[in-house]
């Protein structure tokens, strides 16, 4: 990965990948939504409300994936001083925040007809809410210092400390009694979900992932260009005035 630490190499690579990730994400999400809304069957217990699963579950997966990506980037930045690692974590934070917010909202909408309440303080819901606040805390902390280096370091430490919440979210159903059902897609013995429901679910998950990569590259490119503009302005300010 150090080969792509050079911002110019990253800009060249991302320029080539952007159209592909954009196109693939649009096609996959559109196909997933079509299958979810018009092809997949209703559930014998949940009825039409089961269709919320195709948005909620991939959003929840992506909330964990984005935070894990940030934790890895933060560790690389702290240990190996990778030039783009801090920018990668910073760029991923708003995307992960949006996915987590979407998971919370759709979970509430799905939970109302199933549980009879918009919100319950069970282990998984509470830990996902904590994850949402960790995202917000990271974005606030990274901009809380006049020195960007100190902001990146403090935010990276917060991400790594908060990563303990990721396995808590993942295994909360097994560790405590919650209203959420155990894993039905990734489990020993294969998925416990019908292929007609599994196909749109996986299409949405892969579509969300390519969307994440697409927006991540756009945001990182924006950060790199903004850094070049700031550096150019700083050179102009420091340049000696010729009489």
90-140: per-residue pLDDT in tens?
Answer: 999 999 999 999 999 999 998 888 888 888 888 889 999 999 999 999 999
pLDDT at 26 over 60: yes
Q: How far apart are CA 17 and CA 154, in angstroms?
A: 31
Q: CA torsion sign, 89 to 4 to 225 to 145?
A: positive
- Which of 51-60, 74-83, 174-183 shows the lowest mean pLDDT across its residues? 174-183
Q: Which residues contact 6 (CB under 8 A, 6 or more apart)?
A: 83
For residues 204 and 29, is the Cβ–Cβ distance under 8 A? Answer: yes
Cα separation values, 45 from 2, 134, 189, 207, Å: 51, 35, 24, 28
Q: Which two tokens stand for residue 157?
A: 């430490």
Q: Residue 163 gets which letter from DSSP? A: T
Q: How far apart are CA 148 and CA 132, in angstroms?
A: 23
% of the chain beyond a pLDDT of 70: 89
Q: How far apart are CA 13 and CA 16, in angstroms?
A: 5
Q: CA torsion sign, 17 to 19 to 24 to 29?
A: positive
pLDDT for position 146? 87
Cα separation values, 148 from 133, 141, 144, Å: 22, 10, 9
Q: How far apart are CA 224 and CA 165, in angstroms?
A: 31
pLDDT for position 227? 87
Q: How far apart are CA 124 and CA 115, in angstroms?
A: 14
pLDDT for position 186? 59
pLDDT for position 172? 85
pLDDT at 188 over 50: no
DSSP states of 79-116 as a string? Answer: HH--TTHHHHHHHHHHHHHHHHHHHHHHHHHHHHHHHS
Mean pLDDT throughout 84-93? Answer: 96
For residues 155 and 138, is the Cβ–Cβ distance under 8 A? Answer: yes
Q: What is the pTM of this model?
A: 0.90
How far is C-alpha 208 from the chain's CA centre? 9
- Which of 12-21, 191-200, 206-215 shows the lowest mean pLDDT across its residues? 191-200
By the 10 Å C-beta count (0-12 exposed, 13-18 middle, 19+ buried), 1 is classed as exposed
Q: How many residues does the chain have?
A: 243
Q: Spell out the domains of the chain, with CATH numbers in brackets.
A: 24-40+48-237 (1.20.120)
Strand partners of residue 47? 43
Q: Which residues contact 95 (CB under 8 A, 6 or more apart)?
A: 66, 212, 215, 216, 219
pLDDT for position 4? 57
Q: Report which secondary-structure segment, H or E, holds 76.
A: helix 53-80
């Amino acid at each position: 990965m150090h080969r792509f630490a050079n911002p110019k190499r990253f800009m060249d690579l991302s320029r080539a990948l952007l159209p592909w990730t954009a196109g693939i994400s649009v096609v996959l999400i559109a196909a997933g939504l079509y299958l979810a809304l018009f092809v997949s069957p209703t559930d014998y217990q949940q009825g039409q409300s089961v269709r919320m699963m195709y948005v909620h579950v991939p959003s929840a997966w992506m909330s964990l994936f984005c935070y894990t990506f940030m934790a890895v980037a933060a560790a690389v930045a702290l240990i190996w001083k990778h030039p783009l690692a801090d920018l990668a974590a910073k760029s991923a934070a708003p995307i992960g925040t949006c996915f987590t917010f979407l998971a919370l909202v759709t979970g509430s909408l799905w939970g109302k007809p199933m549980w009879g309440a918009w919100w319950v303080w069970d282990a998984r819901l509470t830990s996902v809410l904590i994850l949402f606040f960790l995202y917000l805390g990271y974005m606030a902390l990274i901009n809380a210092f006049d020195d960007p280096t100190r902001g990146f370091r403090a935010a990276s430490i917060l991400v790594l400390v908060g990563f303990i919440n990721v396995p808590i979210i993942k295994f909360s159903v097994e560790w405590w009694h919650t209203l959420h059902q155990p894993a039905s897609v990734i489990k020993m013995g294969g998925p416990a979900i019908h292929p007609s429901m599994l196909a749109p679910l996986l299409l949405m998950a892969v579509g969300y992932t390519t969307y994440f990569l697409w927006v991540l590259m756009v945001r990182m490119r924006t950060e790199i260009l903004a850094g070049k503009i700031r550096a150019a302005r700083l050179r102009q300010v420091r340049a000696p005035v010729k009489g």
